Amino acid sequence: MTEETRKIAFICSKGNLDMAYPALIMGWAALGNGIDVTIFFTFWGMDMINKHRVDHLQIPPVANSSMKMNLMGVPGYVGIPQIMGVLPGMTPFATHLMNNKMKELGVPPVREYLEMLCDAGAHMYACKMSVDMMGLSMDDFVPGVEAIVTAADFMDMTEGAQIIFI
């Protein structure tokens, strides 16, 4: 085969639980199909690789108009009143429901997913500016994060790659 290996780069900028999964799922699919994968974590996405935060990602029901009560077994598409979403305990409750759904489907938690991606050869980098802004260092990250890089470094290392911003 003479064709060049396809390359995909993901930019993870969100720290909510639901927004952590897209890059993990697509990255894993890419690796399984022989595509090179690079993941760049920036801004709130830093929570995904922060070892103190990765097991505590949450999904808040507030301002999420797609989250319906059928997640809790209520039939149809009954919404969650926004006023209820702000009650103490609602975010942990919604998070608990989502984590359970993921477990039922055999989808691993974020920390384990990152390990799988790393073992499968994905390259993971932290954003320099976010690191500076949040006062983080390499010691705060889960294993597998290779380096702290600048935006320009990211541009160099993703030459020829398809880039997906999440």
Residue pair 110/24 in contact by the 8 Å Cβ criterion: yes
CB of 107 to other proteins, least distance (A): 5
Site size with other proteins, rule: CB under 8 A: 18
- Nearer to other proteins by Cβ, of 76 and 121: the residue is 121
Ramachandran region, residue 92 (left: φ > 0; alpha: ψ -120 to 50; beta: rest): alpha
34 near other proteins, rule: CB under 8 A: yes
166 near other proteins, rule: CB under 8 A: no
CB of 1 to other proteins, least distance (A): 8
- Nearer to other proteins by Cβ, of 29 and 151: the residue is 29
From 2, 4, 33, 152, residue interacting with other proteins (rule: CB under 8 A): 33
Give the integer Cα–Cα distance in Å for 107 and 127: 27
Ramachandran region, residue 150 (left: φ > 0; alpha: ψ -120 to 50; beta: rest): beta
Ramachandran region, residue 57 (left: φ > 0; alpha: ψ -120 to 50; beta: rest): beta
CB of 34 to other proteins, least distance (A): 3
116 near other proteins, rule: CB under 8 A: yes
Give the integer Cα–Cα distance in Å for 141 and 113: 15
Q: Interface with other proteins by CB under 8 A: which residues?
A: 5, 25, 28-29, 31-35, 105-108, 115-116, 119-121
